[in-house]
Amino acid sequence: MDSILVRGNGELRGQIPIAGAKNACLTLMPATLLSDEPLTLTNAPRLSDIRTMTQLLQSLGAEVASLQGGQVLALSSHAISNHTADYDIVRKMRASILVLGPMLARDGHAVVSLPGGCAIGARPVDLHLKALEAMGAELDLRDGYIHAKAPSGGLRGARIVFPIVSVGATENALMAATLAKGTTVLENAAREPEIVDLARCLRRMGAQIEGEGTSILTIEGVDRLGGATHPVVTDRIELGTYMLAPAICGGEVELLGGRIELVGAFCEKLDAAGISVSETERGLKVSRRNGRVTAVDVTTEPFPGFPTDLQAQMMALLCTAEGTSVLEEKIFENRFMHAPELIRMGARIDVHGGTATVTGVDRLRGAPVMATDLRASVSLILAGLAAEGETVVSRVYHLDRGYERVEEKLRACGAQIERISG
């Protein structure tokens, strides 16, 4: 297993290109199952999760070609031969559940493994299943698999009110509704930019959708969808992550492709902490306004609130802020596993249930630490960039799921960082 070695090396200066969004691409790829015409995705990120989704779609009989070094994905599902998404693949990546809605909508049946547990929380899929049942699907859970069947006339439009905001359940229901008979209304739908991107792609394929970006989505089912070419939206979580690099180390970094509207609530918190964010022709420029960062309180919420996927990275910044910050994680029940690792680096963090209280220290000290999940791993790298001495982050396979070429991107701005093959 590879590790990453980071040495605190002072200010960062330079430019970092931001890739296409992992969490958009993971829902755009299964959309190919809705049509027998080609779907081409451009600006695709080069990540292990994308390779896993590729394997899954290929196991169903879809064709997925990775072109231009992985930045273009050419997908085609004109010959789906297998409707079972196997546990061996699904257990590696929970987003695999997103093949359920499209397969059910187009072919009337699907067998998908239940995803199983995850480090950051139980992450049930009950809301996905309830939405599909509301559209007439018959679901039978047995042997760890979801056995799903649509009514003989196909899925039917329905009014679905989500009791809590769920990105994945909104995506599964939205894709299924595009081919359902009649009108579907999704209330309390997720508003994330990845949902907006999916709706725009589906519309290019011929879907009739209104309301993306709001909490009410209205979909008029159509008989069939065509092909499309669609650019994957910029990754707002990668963007926010790298915005924190100059915030933690000092200096000034320009994030190419960054847009304020993707990280509104996050920028408000950075501003309150004393970080300056300005728009440039090519993206966003980030620097500290003065010597030390100021403590701020953070509560994670569905978009447009503060993203849970940036909570771990923000905690790394607040470990060296002036004052005490309170972070409330409201989305997942176990998403503070980076805290004990940051404490190994000298951070002062008290965790009680879903609340972490961080008392800033002057400087963290490098130490051997362990990545526990995707966003925790990059939080430790950010902390290592500002710490005194050496930090070795182990189990970086977590990192490779969601960040392409981390070492290269940070080294280009002056960071001392290298991968150690293990």
Which parts of this chain interact with ligand EPZ (CB under 6 A)? 23, 26, 94-95, 121, 123-128, 164, 166-169, 308-309, 331-332, 374-375, 402
Return the H-helix or E-strand segment holding 228: strand 228-231
Name the residue nearer to ligand EPZ (CB basis): 26 or 265: 26
307 is in an annotated binding site: no
Residue 16 counted as an annotated binding residue:
no
Q: Which of 118, 201, 319, 413 is catalytic?
A: 118
Q: How far is the C-alpha of 89 from the C-alpha of 195, rounded, in Å? A: 24
| C-beta of residue 41 within 8 angstroms of C-beta of residue 50 | no
Please report how close the Cβ of residue 310 comes to ligand EPZ at its closest, in angstroms.
Answer: 9
Torsion of CA 287, 330, 238, 202, to 10 degrees: -130
Structure tokens given for 322 = 């002036």
Q: Tell me how far, at minimum, the Cβ of 254 lies from ligand EPZ, in Å.
A: 24
Q: Which is nearer to ligand EPZ, 43 or 166 (CB)?
A: 166
Q: Is 94 annotated as a binding residue?
A: yes
- Nearest residue to ligand EPZ by CB is 168
| 224 is an annotated ligand-binding site residue | no
CA-to-CA distance for 113 and 116, rounded, in angstroms? 8
Under a CB-based contact definition with an 8 Å cutoff, are residues 135 and 151 in contact? no
330 annotated binding-site participant: no
* Coil, strand or helix at 203: helix
Specify whether 118 is catalytic: yes
Q: Please report how close the Cβ of residue 4 comes to ligand EPZ at its closest, in angstroms.
A: 18
Q: Which of 35/170 has CB closer to ligand EPZ? A: 170
Q: How many CA atoms lie within 13 A of 304 on its CB side?
A: 13
CA distances from 129 to 185, 298, 396 (A): 16, 32, 33
Q: Which CB atom, from 166 or from 320, has the smaller least distance to ligand EPZ?
A: 166
Is position 269 annotated in a ligand binding site?
no
Q: Which two tokens stand for residue 47?
A: 């990540």
Least distance between ligand EPZ and beta carbon 365 (Å): 27
Pick 302 or 360: Cβ nearer ligand EPZ = 302
- Cβ atoms of 163 and 188 closer than 8 Å: yes
Task: Determine the Cα–Cα distance for residues 155 and 67; give it in Å rounded to an integer.
Answer: 34
Give me 17's structure tokens. 């290109």
Cα–Cα dist 310/376, whole Å: 9
- Closest distance to ligand EPZ from the beta carbon of 1 (Å): 20
Which residues are annotated binding-site positions for phosphoenolpyruvate?
A: 22-23
Which residues are annotated binding-site positions for UDP-N-acetyl-alpha-D-glucosamine?
A: 94, 123-127, 309, 331
Catalytic sites, residue numbers: 118
Which residues are annotated binding-site positions?
A: 22-23, 94, 123-127, 309, 331
